[in-house]
Chains A and B, each alone.
Chain A
């Protein structure tokens, strides 16, 4: 594999493709990841967007994209991507479009869709070895409807459906493990606050054929309850505390691309967010905090 062109932030484009003027919340961590990824994928990209926050990107007749956009129900964006890929292949075979006019097909789905409703369609698309990109912007809840819990919600987080004193009783589903069990061409976890890591991964995936699967942790000021100016800081803390491991899957192997050299306590990440405020006040919930920390420690003990 050739060496990356993204050696420093200076290598990233400052001429961005994704236009402003959308109704997405100020300081959206998901939008940040989409914007950076779009710059690398380039203009010849068609987005297949299942219902979710990012539905607000294109509201007729307004669109922030340079090209086409297909809107699907929550469970079927990968099926929509298959249709577009097939149509493009037919056009290519008939010589009605030239190879340089070919489009990259990108599924854009939230965690409610990706971790839950669309799992079956995603699994089937990987089974068929569909040549596409999949970007899950994971804000750990049903963000567009008031932040109800989803299978991506972390343990103990308060959501609109877990407003009690203990927060969400379940545990965040390991979607990366489910995806990689399908042996796709490529899979990676990314985050907008680590643009170089993101750029290198997308660049690498672009050279591969088949399913290229991405999960971007999307810090969400609205649903996680923090000031929008802290989106990047909270994203960086997610990586430094090890709660969001940045990794990639290629040729049957998982590699951690940015393992925290010295992991800082997960508390530093949790206490910045209103959804975890009940773990610190009125009194400190030591048991829950220790459990969350222990799960992270366990993950890294196995990973390295």
Chain B
């Protein structure tokens, strides 16, 4: 069985990537499962989708525990735990990245024992959610790696899945996908189907045993206010708004009022401060600031350790 997981951000087309690859497998006569992980399907939020394909009926269910191939459309996801990109990877697993960095660097940095490859020639300096064809490109790369999907089938699968978006978009995606498919010829068949793991091989789920309790204990009412602050939605951000305090006029109300997230507070000196733990990077503040005192920078270039907010 082939087990392939796609990781990316909402808006990059990971769901579509898994649909295309699943359809391509199906057209080649495989039994297929393709599913996306439901969760915060929001632009910029970490998401994943996965495909199983086999010549035999597939009895496995649920999220793929031991992927043969993991394709990552945004390398910033590798630096954070929450998306679980490396979950269940073994020395036999292959990691395929959309990254400006060398695969060797990632292999060392992640201390990953399997093989790491990079998607060819799709890197540009745009923010990840603006790489318009990255989902299709990831699907094409997956099709190449398994080596059992012909160019003709891939083309058909892309047409089937993107048809609703109109001719022009289908053509653009086909061009990019087939280009990458051709460029990656040398990788054909890098992924071999792996056998069904024995039940004993599965790790126990990380659940907590809870005794049967009265409802007041087992499902307690939450009396605390504003507990949503525990969710670090700053992970969604691909672009980061940065305040240039030399240009800020301390009007103190426009960015803070318009920010839908309540991620901009005003300190005692009247300066706005961005809460990077929660800012989702919509950049509405940058657009609205009348003094152009807010600029954006690519999130890639920042380390997550600096997410403590700016001190003034």
| Residues of chain A at the chain B interface (Cβ within 8 Å) | 9-10, 12, 14-16, 18-29, 31-32, 35-36, 57-58, 60-67, 163, 192-193, 195, 221-222, 228-233
Contacts and interface: CB of A to CB of B under 8 A. Distances in A.
Nearest to B270: A14
A9 B252 CA distance: 9
B222 interface: yes
B125 interface: no
Nearest to A228: B282
Ranked nearest first, the 7 interchain pairs of A and B with the lowest CB-CB distance are: A27-B282, A19-B226, A26-B280, A21-B228, A20-B278, A228-B282, A21-B231
Given A19-B228, A229-B287, A60 B260 contact: no
B262 A16 contact: yes
B226 A231 contact: no
Contact of A20 (B225, B233, B287): B233
Interface of B: 40, 42-45, 164, 222, 225-233, 236, 251-254, 256-263, 265-266, 275, 278-284, 286-288
A32 B262 CA distance: 9
A9 B265 contact: no
Contacts of A15: 265-266
A62 B257 contact: no
B278 A21 contact: yes
Nearest to A32: B260
A171 B251 CA distance: 41
Contacts of B266: 14-15
B39 to A, nearest CB: 8
B283 A228 contact: yes
B260 A222 contact: no
Given A14-B256, A231-B284, A20 B222 contact: no
B72 to A, nearest CB: 21
Contacts of A29: 260
B43 A26 contact: yes
A23 B40 contact: yes
B262 A25 contact: no
Contacts of A14: 252-253, 256-257, 265-266
A123 B239 CA distance: 45
A19 B261 CA distance: 7
A163 B164 CA distance: 8
A286 B228 CA distance: 47
A303 to B, nearest CB: 28
B268 to A, nearest CB: 11
Contacts of B288: 232
Contact of A25 (B42, B226, B253, B283): B42
Given A25-B42, A63-B227, A31 B284 contact: no
Contacts of B164: 163
Contacts of B253: 9-10, 12, 14
A265 to B, nearest CB: 22
A18 B236 CA distance: 19
Contacts of A230: 284, 287
Contacts of B282: 26-27, 221, 228-229, 231
> Which of B42, B45, B232 has the most C-beta atoms of chain A within 10 angstroms of its own C-beta?
B42
Given A27-B280, A64-B226, A228-B282, 20 more contacts: A10-B251, A14-B265, A15-B265, A18-B262, A19-B228, A20-B228, A20-B233, A20-B275, A23-B40, A23-B42, A23-B45, A23-B231, A26-B42, A26-B281, A27-B283, A31-B260, A32-B258, A57-B228, A60-B222, A192-B260
Contacts of B260: 24, 27-29, 31-32, 35, 192, 231
Contacts of A10: 251-253
A29 to B, nearest CB: 7
A61 B222 CA distance: 7
B233 A22 contact: yes
Contacts of A35: 260, 262
Contacts of A32: 258-260
